[in-house]
Structure 1
Amino acid sequence: MQGSGVNQAETFLGKTHQLMIGGERVDALSGGTFEVVDPATENVIAEVARAGAEDVDRAVRVAQETFTGKHWRTLNGATRTRLLLRYADIIERHADELAVLETRNNGMPIGSARRTVALSVDWLRHFAGAVTRIHGQSFDQAALSTRYSEIHSYTRREPVGVVGLITPWNGPIGVFMTKVAPALAAGCTVVLKPSEITPLTALRLGELALEAGIPPGVLNIVPGYGAEAGQAIADHAVIRRVSFTGSTLVGKQLVHASAGNLKRLTLELGGKSPLVIFDDADLDRAVPAAAMAIAANTGQICFAGSRLFVQKKVFDRVVAGIGEVMSTYKLGNGMDPATVLGPVVSQKQRGRVLDYIARGCEEGAEIAFSGPATDGPGYFVPPTVFVGTRPGMKIVREEIFGPVLVASPFEDINQVALSANDTTYGLGAGIYTTDLRNAHRLAARIESGNVWVNCYGIMDAAMPFGGLKQSGIGRVLGDEGLGAFLETKSVFVNLE
């Protein structure tokens, strides 16, 4: 751990944490605040201004004025690219500080936090490079029955305007960048509400954007509660698009809210992702990958591999192997470099996960492995593997968002395809096999927006990411992620 990163994070934590609107740090109009807790110690580490509907309206008005002015939308692409690249460089220089803040606020292991910051910098650089590739098309006259004999037709790709971005507590920096990078690249202005549980890195990233020279009013940060600030973003008529990552329940509420103003939505929601291991798989790779697919970020990942399907011949061997791997995981404070499993994010989340484990036992499932409990403070949950489950059990059907794995045997590809799709979700899926015919066949049949073969959880800025069924609407990242923040305008010019 580099001491400078810790010291910088402590300096930031010692500040008064206000809203960021129009490049200025301002109190909430109500004067309200909320406390931020380190989930590993249960200590309060910061107090943050609590945005309400009036604060969101203030931020939206500033964002709209900035958008319609000459500060961002009409900035030429090369200049916007240079500013975004400078922003990426500054984030990279503050990588250790941001990683410490992420670990202190979210609980994830410091190594994971560092990798997330590095990945976010890569994503920002990717979209900085995409700015000058935004273009329309020219068209020849087709079946144009018109009195004009010479028409020049073309399209323009233009920013949608003010966008509302709502980010979750489980991946504050990473999700921030999947939304902010393409929105800024497109030329939009942003009102962003981070989770009230993990607002700190968003506030720091807002400061660094100003340091990079991104004009005031382009990126506005309004920490607050979903029922207050989040609802205000959903209802505001000036906001043209909302991009939300979070629960399927809240995603459905946003769909209802958008009905009154036809706001465009990008929703990246929950998951109950299957990971399939065939009996010909390289188990030396598949077993630790399956363990980490549910253990990463203590299971608090929307595409966590929470349903494990193993071909019957190797089922017992794989389950035992996962238990052996998990027994080596250090459960503890994420600031310890040796920690693999940090705490879950809050006392409420800890209670939720433990309730699911108890419910699984009550419904007759068998615990094949459970890690040791911890003494002392912190919202820790031991990794748990269930076998002997039935399709109707809550632990099989519902998203737990914790380190809880349910494992089931299967006979053949047809059976596992049906079982994998027996869910309302469709975000991620993993396949381990050395038979690429089975890999491609199953990848085509699984109802999921993302499929990983002989790997798990990879995300790339050039590849779209999103879900099917109740796992979401639209995509982040890739050309589709950028296109979400652009409108297409058709122009017809009479050349006679």
Structure 2
Amino acid sequence: MYRKLAFYIDGEFSGAEGRHAGDVANPATGEVIGRLPHVGPADLDRAVAAAERAFASWRRTSPLARSDLLRKVAALIRERAPDIARDITLDEGKPLEEALVEVTSCAEHVEWHAEECRRIYGRVIPPRQPDVRQFVVREPVGVCAAFSPWNFPFAQAVRKVAAALAAGCTLILKGPEESPSAVVAMAELFHDAGLPAGVLNIVWGDPAAISRHLITAPAVRKISFTGSVPVGKQLAALAGAHMKRMTMELGGHSPVLVFADADVDRAAQMLARFKLRNAGQVCVSPTRFYVQRPAYARFLEAFAHELSQARVGDGLDPSSQMGPLANPRRVAAMADLVADAAGRGAQVVTGGRKVGEEGCFFAPTVLAGLGDDARIMREEPFGPVAPVVPFDTEDEALQRANALPFGLASYVFTESLKTATRVANGLEAGMVNINHFGMGPAEIPFGGIKDSGIGTEGGAETFDGYLVTKFITQL
């Protein structure tokens, strides 16, 4: 059984009956498993009106009440996690264990926002005149429009919803049409927890039409988008034209710097497992591997061995370590990147091909002997393909790592504290991981620089994009 799909406006769920709908397919089999109802302009107008009406009262709701509601949602997430995770595996493809981790970790994210929203403080500024009082307050920005991606359908949506609602904003969310079940489940969680009608609204349909309609709506004051750089730039331009605040978490092309003094075998094993996560369809997936020349051969052998041993299959099979890509377009994209690299003289160390006739499976792939002009060294692969190239000096590694316009995540492996400090200071990235991967917890600010985005989600900065600052001076 797969979840019945619906959109959610003003506290009511509406299914596909009697309206235009799109197919939802299982990427492991190609089977159509659901029909997703698409909204029209009138539905979007109704969602905006509902959010605007609900904001008038939700903004005045006590932070304690908002906190209590979020805690109820967190408890429901843990209770319903197995069913939500199974549906994610069915429509997005990732192994069930990964899907379950995604869902259960979101309970902590919701609880974090429940705690932090009780501490949205202003400040008092000492006056220059004795009879003056002056202070700063933080207020919710208003109605927000959010757009969440298909690769982490529950986690990415929850981050936006929890932050907006905890801050006192109302929200219209367009989720991913490829993997919609998690967002429908999320709407059910908030509905069952007692969220007032109109505070959260979920819509589906043509992305370009919906984004333009919502961003240009006068009542919408803030935009939050997670997705590709090209689409993010288009939405940012549209939001800028209407002076809308925005948070943009865009694509990456995460460099990995493995120095000769690193624990090479441990680094190879850790990076291989991380590269397999969601079949490499992760914005912070390690994608450009620079290995210092004395350690290069050893790392390449160990890394390729780990990936070649991975079991690729249906995410519902407990033995599968990597599931399918999201759709046939991703399979074709991987084949094109490998062909381009091979055409430029690269060696396919392992993988490099589609797996099986059914489904969207692509073998974990390692490429060696390629130059920085190969497409995969310049374009985010968003799949299980990893180029591994040598470097000689620290300065060279930093120059090559920083050469692209991306700046989301980065990874460094070294046993030298001095090297780690210099490289962490020199990398142009919003997040630097040294000898481990530490970007997941709710208390961590998650975001990039350069073309990889504007603003962050999570951590103490979680509400910055959803609050305005007001100065009040009184004589």
Give the shorter-chain TM-score range.
Answer: over 0.9
Contact 1:39–1:343, Cα closer than 8 Å, also in 2 = yes
1:109 match: 95
Structure 2 match to 1:440: 421
Give the counterpart letter for 2:100 in structure 1: R
Q: What residue in structure 2 maps to residue 65 of structure 1?
A: 53
Q: CA RMSD in A?
A: 1.5
1:278 correspondence with 2:264: no
What does residue range 294-373 of structure 1 map to in structure 2 within 5 Å?
A: 294-370=275-351, 373=354
Select which of 115, 132, 156 maps to 1:151. 132
- Residue 3 of structure 1 is matched in structure 2 by none
User: Does residue 26 of the first structure (1) align with residue 26 of the second (2)?
Assistant: no
Question: CA separation in 2, counterparts of 1:376 and 1:424?
Answer: 37
1:44 aligns with 2:25: no
**Secondary structure, in 3 states, of the residue corresponding to 1:177?**
helix
Task: Tell me the equivalent position of 1:259.
Answer: 240
**1:113 Cα shift?**
0.7
453, 475, 479: which is aligned to 2:460? 479
Q: TM-score, normalised by structure 2?
A: 0.97
Q: Is the 8 A contact 1:194 1:224 kept in 2?
A: no
SS of residue in 2 equivalent to 1:306: strand
Does the alignment pair 1:140 with 2:140? no
Q: Provide, for residues 22-74 of structure 1, a one-character-per-residue CA deviation record: whole Å limited to 9, x for no partner.
A: 11013589921111111011111110111233322211110000001x2x211
Q: 1:241 to 1:177 in 2, by over 3 A?
A: same
Aligned-pair identity in percent equals: 35
The answer (yes or no) to whether the contact 2:331–2:354 under 8 Å persists in 1 is no
Distance in 1 (CA, whole Å) between partners of 2:237 and 2:80 is 40
Q: Hey, what does 2:155 align to over in structure 1?
A: 174
Secondary structure of 1:470's counterpart equals helix
Structure 1: any 5+ residue segments left out of the alignment?
1-9
For residues 16 and 92 of structure 2, what CA distance do their matches in structure 1 show?
24
For 1:30 and 1:152, how far apart are their aligned partners in 2? 59
CA contact (8 A) 2:25 2:33 kept: yes
Partner of residue 75 from structure 1, selected from 61, 81, 94:
61
Identify if the C-alpha distance between structure 1 residues 28 and 100 changes in structure 2 by more than 3 Å, giving closer, same or farther: closer
Q: Aligned to 1:96, what secondary structure does the other structure show?
A: helix
CA contact (8 A) 2:158 2:186 kept: no
Aligned partners of 1:29 and 1:54 also within 8 Å: no
Partners in 1 of 2:152 and 2:170 — Cα distance?
22
Q: Which moved more, 1:35-44 or 1:49-58?
A: 49-58
Gaps of 5+ in 2: none
Q: State the Cα distance separating 1:341 from its structure 2 match.
A: 1.1
Q: Is the 8 A contact 1:326 1:371 kept in 2?
A: no
Q: 2:182 aligns with which of 193, 201, 209?
A: 201
2:159 maps to amino acid: T
Aligned residues: 475
Structure 2 contact 95–320 (Cα < 8 Å) conserved: yes
Alignment of 1:126 onto 2:112? yes
Instruction: Give the CA deviation at 1:79.
Output: 1.2
Aligned partner of 1:220 in structure 2 is 201
Structure 1 length as normaliser, TM-score?
Answer: 0.93
With over 3 angstroms needed to count, the CA separation of the structure-2 counterparts of 1:338 and 1:249, relative to structure 1, is same
User: In structure 2, what is the Cα distance between the partners aligned to 1:286 and 1:489?
Assistant: 48
Partner of 2:211: 230
Looking at structure 1, the residues matched to 145 and 158 of structure 2 have their Cα atoms a distance apart, in angstroms, of: 14
Deviation at 1:118, TM superposition (A): 1.6
Equivalent AA in structure 2 for residue 468 of structure 1: I
Please tell me the residue identity of whatever aligns with 2:97.
G
1:407-460 superposed Cα distances (whole Å, 9 cap, x missing partner): 111112111111111111010000111112111110110000000011125322
Structure-to-structure mapping, 1:359-398, within 5 angstroms: 359-370=340-351, 373-398=354-379
2:368 counterpart letter in structure 1: V
Q: CA shift at 1:276, angstroms?
A: 1.0
The structure 2 residue matched to 1:35, chosen from 15, 20, 23, is 23
